Chain A
Amino acid sequence: MVRKVLVANRGEIALRIVRACQELGIGSVAIFSEADRDSTHVRVADEAFCVGPGPVPRSYLNVPNIISAALVSGCDAVHPGYGFLAENARFAEICADHGLKFIGPRPEIITAMGDKATAKRVMAEAGVATTPGTDILASVELAHEAAEQIGYPVLLKATAGGGGKGMRVVERPEEMERAFLGATAEAEASFKDGRVYMEKLIRDPRHIEVQVLADEYGEVVHLGERDCSIQKPSHQKLIEEAGAPNLTERARTRLHEMAVLACRHVGYSNAGTLEFLSSGDDVFFMEMNTRIQVEHPVTEMVYGIDLVKEQIRIASGEPLGYSQTDLEPRGHAIECRINAEDARHNFAPQAGKLGAVLFPGGPGIRIDTHIFSGASVPPYYDSMLAKVIAFANTREQAIARMERALRETLVEGVATTTEMCLEILATEGFRSGVYDIGFLPRLLAQRVG
């Protein structure tokens, strides 16, 4: 087992990883920016190192300071969390060059699967269904040509991306130049990699993803699917659930089989997620995230497996110790993201000092958060403040439990998405489990109308 882990992240996921380390009996070292000096992960970790000022490029993407912090504190492993450097193959290589175990797949796998355009090509080679699309597009002119071939509407996507960053829908040729430049600039700012690719826009599909775990000896298992179709107009997820309601058994089986097939094909190890677009019985591979996901807790709740601990165990060279037949989901879990955003003004991010903060408890409720009463919400980072996770025997019970929990939730000082989540849960569309990724944009449009 690794002895001491540097947690190269902030916020709730940094705290989540520190907690896993502590329960495994291994050391943890936090990093933080000057803006996060009072953050919970800094207080809870065994040690903490400031790596730069508030802006992300100078702190949470400051690779020399992060690696140096790991070395001077005696770490032998680095957990990247999600976002920031989590899918940066060069960072994984640098970790290895300095004798640090990167808790994730090997760098060449990150390059092959984390680079989303390459990943689609590799998946097609493996026999996995993919959406029509292109490789990386080097210019606006090539983007125009590709869109004419594929047929509008198309989607421009950051090859290093995630979370809706660097993504643009292009309906008509005249929108292409602005969308291309906007996507590349946003991708460069967010991931230090401005390359984008294109795929056919499939209207109103469901976003279904499959969680996988693979050890370094070839054992691969899936931990079922998550439905992440409740997305803001910016394509960022807001509510996720495990399993996916009203999925045909044929589609579910294909999703699970393709996820395992894909991992075996590329020799994947550690935790990963394969994202698919689903429409009826059709499923198309979209991209693979070679890291832990924000929404991983819903899978943990229904499978009773701690995914972050599994990541550390796998990185330590331990075999999984179980196979697919040992895994059986139980019950239903829903996650609502409490973001510091004003849902009535296009989810504008909020920053400032929080007032009173009180989260719910009681049976079947899990809260993953780093905030507390009086905490600061810096303007530099992702606006997610907390994840409220409700678990119950049935989906109906989980919805009722989530509604109760959200009504108990108190976050003063900034606008949050709590009320928006309650509004979504109350709709007939969500309650029936018949919804797609256009659900929330349509709901918002109706409200404005």
Chain B
Amino acid sequence: MTPEYPTEDAPSARAQRLAEFFVGTPLLRLRIEREEEEFEFVRSSLEPIFGGTPAPALPEPSPERPVETLRADVVGILRFGRNLPTLGEEVGEERELAAIEALGIRTSVRARSAGRLTAILCQDGAAVDYGRALFEIERG
């Protein structure tokens, strides 16, 4: 069950390989911390994500494209919007992916640059703390 940790390839490729490994496990949450890197994979059930439709096959990773991790900068409850992009979808710069509700204030979580959504790392309605990884976007 232990993933063979890829050490030589780019972070996006490592995330891709770990995501594929995670999908094949019976786990609801997998967190890996190693040196400067941190990966966290979460799913709400063992059913395919998003209303029973199979999760879209992720495109082949592009090792040369840097991956940006969007993290929570406030403590609160994560809320997905109605227009949450699907995995693999291209998102534009400043696109709102979710919001964090805290003390009655809604703080948007936006893509800082255009790219492809490669990972959704938290569930809708989850309590998130500062620095919690929420989304990964492969810039391009």
A binds B: yes
Complex Cα distance, B130 from A69, in Å, reads: 10
Q: Tell me which residues from 13 to 56 in chain B have a Cβ below 8 Å from any Cβ of chain A.
A: none
Complex Cα distance, B77 from A71, in Å, reads: 10
Residues of A within 8 A of B76 (CB): 68, 72
Contacts A64-B103, A68-B103 given; indicate if A50 touches B129 (C-beta within 8 A). yes
Q: Tell me which residues from 33 to 51 in chain A have a Cβ below 8 Å from any Cβ of chain B.
A: 34, 49-51
Q: How many A residues have CB within 8 A of the partner chain? A: 17
Look across to chain A and name the residue whose beta carbon is closest to the beta carbon of B126: A72
Q: Does B102 contact A (CB under 8 A)?
A: yes
Complex Cα distance, B131 from A72, in Å, reads: 16
Look across to chain B and name the residue whose beta carbon is closest to the beta carbon of A33: B130
Contacts A49-B75, A51-B75, A64-B74 given; indicate if A69 touches B103 (C-beta within 8 A). no
Complex Cα distance, B74 from A59, in Å, reads: 11
> Which one of B103, B127, B130, B131 contacts A73 once the chains associate, using CB atoms below 8 Å?
B127
Q: Does B132 contact A (CB under 8 A)?
A: yes
Residues of A within 8 A of B131 (CB): 34, 50, 53
Q: Does A205 contact B (CB under 8 A)?
A: no
* Chain B binding surface, main DSSP class: loop
Residues of A within 8 A of B74 (CB): 64-65, 68
Q: How many B residues have CB within 8 A of the partner chain? A: 11
Residues of B within 8 A of A71 (CB): 103
Contact B103 A67 (CB under 8 A): yes
Complex Cα distance, B38 from A34, in Å, reads: 13
A-B interface contact total, Cβ < 8 Å:
43
> Which one of B77, B103, B127, B129 contacts A51 once the chains associate, using CB atoms below 8 Å?
B129
Q: Tell me which residues from 6 to 54 in chain A have a Cβ below 8 Å from any Cβ of chain B.
A: 34, 49-53
Look across to chain A and name the residue whose beta carbon is closest to the beta carbon of B105: A64
Complex Cα distance, B103 from A67, in Å, reads: 8
Residues of B within 8 A of A49 (CB): 75, 127, 129-130
Q: Tell me which residues from 101 to 140 in chain B have a Cβ below 8 Å from any Cβ of chain A.
A: 102-103, 127, 129-132
Look across to chain B and name the residue whose beta carbon is closest to the beta carbon of A34: B131
Chain A nearest Cβ from B95, distance in angstroms: 25
Look across to chain B and name the residue whose beta carbon is closest to the beta carbon of A98: B103
Contacts A49-B75, A51-B75, A73-B127 given; indicate if A68 touches B102 (C-beta within 8 A). yes
Chain B nearest Cβ from A75, distance in angstroms: 12
Closest 5 CB pairs of A and B: A72-B127, A68-B102, A49-B129, A68-B75, A50-B129
Residues of A in contact with B (beta carbons under 8 Å apart): 34, 49-53, 59, 64-69, 71-73, 98
5 inter-chain pairs at a CB distance below 8 angstroms, sorted by A residue, are A49-B75, A49-B129, A50-B129, A65-B102, A73-B127
